[in-house]
Chain A
Amino acid sequence: MLEIKDLDVWLAKKPVLESVSFRAAPGRISAVIGPNGAGKSTLFKAIMNLVKVKHGQILWHNSDLTDFSRKNLAKTVAYLPQNSHAVPSTVYDSVLLGRKPHLSFRPGPADRQMVDEIIVDLNLKDLKESCVTKISGGEFQKSLIARLLVQNVPVMLLDEPINHLDVKNQLEIMDLVQALTIDRKLVSVIVLHDLNFAMGYADELLLLKNGKIVFNGPPASLSVEKLKMAYQVDLKIVSIDGKLKVIF
C-alpha cells in the first residue's frame, strides 16, 4: 500500500501541494485529475524525491520513501515523467535501461532475458532494433511502459502517458496499463487530463485544485459540482450503457 500522509510541498516559496493525503492499493488504478497547475506532476515529483517535501510522509509498507536512497527508490517506484522525449536509441536498449537500478556494472543474461520477455509480452518484438525516434507515438509510449516493467517494482507512476496520442493508441495504452496493474498487482497512479479515460479506467480518483484535494474516491461517487468547481467549466456526468461519461 502506497500511503501519502498530510503532504505539503512548497516551490519558490509558494505552496504547490497542501495537506494531500491518499492511499493507493495494489492491483488498482488511481487517476490524478485536475486543471493545469493543480499540482499533479509535483505530487509525482515529491513521491520520486525530485522536489523537497516540506511536511508529511510518503509511506510504502510503513517506510518513508523520502528516506530512501535514489537507487532504492528506483527499486521500489517506477516513474514515467511528463512529455518524455525520444532520443536516438534502439527500442531494446531503451527498455534495457529499466534494469539500471539493479545493475552494478552492465546488464547480465538474466536482465536481458527479462527484457526479452517483456518485449514479447508487449508486442514489441518486431521493433526491438528500431530507433525509438522513428516509431509511432503509441509504440514509443509502449516502449517506455516496457522500461518501467523491467524495472520490476511494485509501484508505477505515469504522468500523462496518453497525451499526444490518437484514440486508438490511447485505448491501447490504457488497456495495457489496466491489464498490467491487475496481472502484476501493481500500485498504478496515473495523471490523466482526459476525464472520460479517468472515469473509465480508474478505480480511485484524486481530484486536485490549487494543490488541495477536492475529491478522493471511486469515480461513481464524484459529484458534478466538485468537477465544475475544480475546472470552472459547465459540464455534466451522464451514464451511457452503464458507463460514466463527462460531457462538456
Chain B
Amino acid sequence: MSSRTEPNALGRCRAGLRRPDPGLPMKKNKRFVFIVSLVGATLVLSIWSLASGSIDCSPLEVIKALIPGRPETDLSYLIVHLRLPRLIAALAVGGILALNGAVLQNVLVNPLASSFTLGITQGAAFGACLAMIVLPVNAASHVSLSLVTMCAFCGSILTSLAVMSFSLLRGMTPQGLILAGVAISALLSACTMSLQYFASDVQVVSTMFWTFGDLGRGGWRESTITMSLFLVWLGLAIYLAWDFEALKWGENQAQALGINTKRLRFFSLLLTALTTAAATAFFGVIGFVGLIAPHMVRLAFPRAGHMFLLPCAALFGGTFIIAADLLARTMLYPLVLPIGIICAFAGVPMFLFLLIKSAMSYA
C-alpha cells in the first residue's frame, strides 16, 4: 500500500510505462492524403462518368458542356440533362447510404447495422409492389411512376416509424431495436411475396425490376431533392459527430458526458429513415454500400473519430456508387446492368481484402 504521507504532488505519482512516440505528423498526413485522393477520385470518376455512354466524348467536351451560358448542342444537352442528374443521384444516394450506415452502426451498437436494418428496403419494396399490383398503375405512365415512388416512400417511412416506435419503449436496447427491424422486415417480405403470388407475370417482373435499383429512374427533380436531403443530413451529422463519438464508448459513458442518448438515437433513426426512404423510393434498392463504406474507412483508419469518419464514409459511398454506375453502364454496353449487382461484385472482394489485410497486420 502506498504511503499516505506523500499524496500531494502529481509529479510524485508512479509514472506509467513509456512508449516511443508513434509519429503524429505522418498519421495526420495519411488522413490528408486520403481525403485529397478521395476528392480527386470523385472528380476524375465524375468526368469519366459524364463522358461515357451511348455517345463517348472527351473530358474537355464535358467541361465545356458544364460551363453555363454556352450554346446548347446535342452533346451538351445529353450531358447536362441526362448524365449530370444521374451523377448527382449517384453521389447523393451513395453518400446517404454510407452516412446512414456509419450513424446506425454507432447508435445501434452493431457493426452489421445499415439502412436495411430498419426494414426500409422491405417497406419500400412492399409499397412499390402494392402500387404496381393492387393500384391500377401503368408502368409507362409518368403519373403512375410518381404513384409508385410515393407508395414506396410511404412504405419505407411507415416501416421505419414502426421500428422506431420500439425505441421509445422504456428498457428497449439497441439490440432489441435491430431484432424488431428484422422481425418487421420478415413480415413485410412475406406480405410482398403474398402480393406477387397473386399477381400476373408482367406485374411480378415489374416489381422485380423496381427492386434492382436504377439511377436513371429519376430526373433533375429527384436528384436535387436527394442531394439536398443528403447535404442537410451530412451537415447535421457532422454537427453531432462528438455526440456519436461519445456514444461509441457506451450508453452510460455518453450520458455521463451530458448526452441525451435516447433523443440522439431517435433523432438519428428518424433522419436515416427519411433520407434512405427518399433515396430508395426514387432510385430503388441499392444495397451493400451502406454496410461496407463506413467499414472501409474504419479499416483504413481504425482510430479515426466520427468527425473524420462521417464525411469520409459519405464521400467514399458516393464515389463508390459513381464507379459502380460507370461500370454498370459501360461493362456490357449497350446492356445496362443493375447497379446493386455491381456494388456487390466490386465491393465484396475489396471489403474482404481490407478485412484480411487488417487481420494480418493485427496478427
Measured CB to CB, the closest approach of chain B to A124, in angstroms, equals 7
Known A-B contacts A48-B255, A123-B16, A124-B16; the reply to A130 vs B7 at CB < 8 A is no
Stretch from A16-24, A172-180, A223-231 contacting the other chain: A172-180
Q: Identify which of residues 172-206 in chain B touch chain A, using a CB-to-CB cut-off of 8 Å.
A: none
A135 CB contacts on chain B under 8 angstroms: 19
Stretch from A30-38, A55-63, A86-94, A207-215 contacting the other chain: A86-94
Q: Does A154 contact B (CB under 8 A)?
A: no
Per-residue CB contact flags for chain B residues 1-22 toward chain A (1 = under 8 Å, else 0) read 1101001111011111111111
Q: Does B303 contact A (CB under 8 A)?
A: yes
Bound Cα distance from A93 to B239, whole angstroms: 17
B248 CB contacts on chain A under 8 angstroms: 87, 89
Which of A107, A176, A197 is close to B10, meaning CB atoms less than 8 Å apart?
A176
Measured CB to CB, the closest approach of chain B to A244, in angstroms, equals 10
B22 CB contacts on chain A under 8 angstroms: 129-130
Bound Cα distance from A50 to B1, whole angstroms: 34
Say yes or no: B250 contacts A81, CB within 8 Å. Answer: yes
Bound Cα distance from A44 to B82, whole angstroms: 61
Q: Identify which of residues 209-251 in chain B touch chain A, using a CB-to-CB cut-off of 8 Å.
A: 239, 241-243, 245-246, 248-250
Measured CB to CB, the closest approach of chain B to A71, in angstroms, equals 4
Bound Cα distance from A79 to B254, whole angstroms: 10
| Residue in A closest to B307 when the chains form the complex, CB atoms | A106
Bound Cα distance from A171 to B257, whole angstroms: 27
Q: Identify which of residues 82-137 in chain A touch chain B, using a CB-to-CB cut-off of 8 Å.
A: 84-85, 87-90, 93, 97-98, 100-101, 103, 105-107, 121-124, 126-131, 135-136
Q: Does A78 contact B (CB under 8 A)?
A: yes
Q: Does B363 contact A (CB under 8 A)?
A: no
Say yes or no: A81 contacts B10, CB within 8 Å. Answer: no
Measured CB to CB, the closest approach of chain A to B167, in angstroms, equals 18
Per-residue CB contact flags for chain A residues 26-56 toward chain B (1 = under 8 Å, else 0) read 0000000000000000000100101000000
B250 CB contacts on chain A under 8 angstroms: 81, 84-85
Q: Does A75 contact B (CB under 8 A)?
A: yes
Say yes or no: B7 contacts A182, CB within 8 Å. Answer: yes
Measured CB to CB, the closest approach of chain B to A170, in angstroms, equals 10
Q: Identify which of residues 1-54 in chain B touch chain A, using a CB-to-CB cut-off of 8 Å.
A: 1-2, 4, 7-10, 12-24, 27
Which of B10, B20, B242 is close to A179, meaning CB atoms less than 8 Å apart?
B10
Per-residue CB contact flags for chain A residues 171-210 toward chain B (1 = under 8 Å, else 0) read 1101110111011000000000000110011000000000
Say yes or no: A139 contacts B16, CB within 8 Å. Answer: yes
Say yes or no: B21 contacts A129, CB within 8 Å. Answer: yes
Bound Cα distance from A107 to B241, whole angstroms: 11
Interface centre among B17, B18, B260, B298 (most CB of A within 10 A): B17
Which of A97, A123, A171, A197 is close to B246, meaning CB atoms less than 8 Å apart?
A97
Say yes or no: A178 contacts B7, CB within 8 Å. Answer: yes
| Residue in B closest to A139 when the chains form the complex, CB atoms | B16
Bound Cα distance from A79 to B252, whole angstroms: 9
Known A-B contacts A129-B24, A175-B2, A175-B13; the reply to A93 vs B303 at CB < 8 A is yes
Q: Does A138 contact B (CB under 8 A)?
A: yes
Say yes or no: B256 contacts A74, CB within 8 Å. Answer: yes
Say yes or no: B257 contacts A126, CB within 8 Å. Answer: no
Bound Cα distance from A241 to B223, whole angstroms: 79
Known A-B contacts A87-B249, A90-B303, A176-B10; the reply to A129 vs B1 at CB < 8 A is no
Q: Does B258 contact A (CB under 8 A)?
A: yes
B16 CB contacts on chain A under 8 angstroms: 122-124, 127, 136, 138-139, 142, 172
A106 CB contacts on chain B under 8 angstroms: 241-242, 307
Sample (11) of A-B pairs whose CB atoms are under 8 Å apart: A50-B252, A70-B255, A74-B257, A78-B256, A97-B245, A121-B10, A122-B16, A127-B16, A171-B14, A175-B2, A183-B10
List 13 additional A-B contacts (Cβ < 8 Å) besides A100-B246, A121-B10, A136-B17. Answer: A48-B256, A70-B260, A79-B256, A85-B250, A90-B303, A93-B303, A100-B257, A126-B18, A127-B16, A151-B257, A179-B13, A196-B1, A243-B4
Binding site for A on B (CB under 8 A): 1-2, 4, 7-10, 12-24, 27, 239, 241-243, 245-246, 248-250, 252-253, 255-260, 298, 302-303, 305, 307
Which 8 pairs from chain A and chain B are nearest by CB? A74-B258, A71-B258, A101-B258, A79-B256, A172-B14, A178-B7, A81-B252, A100-B257
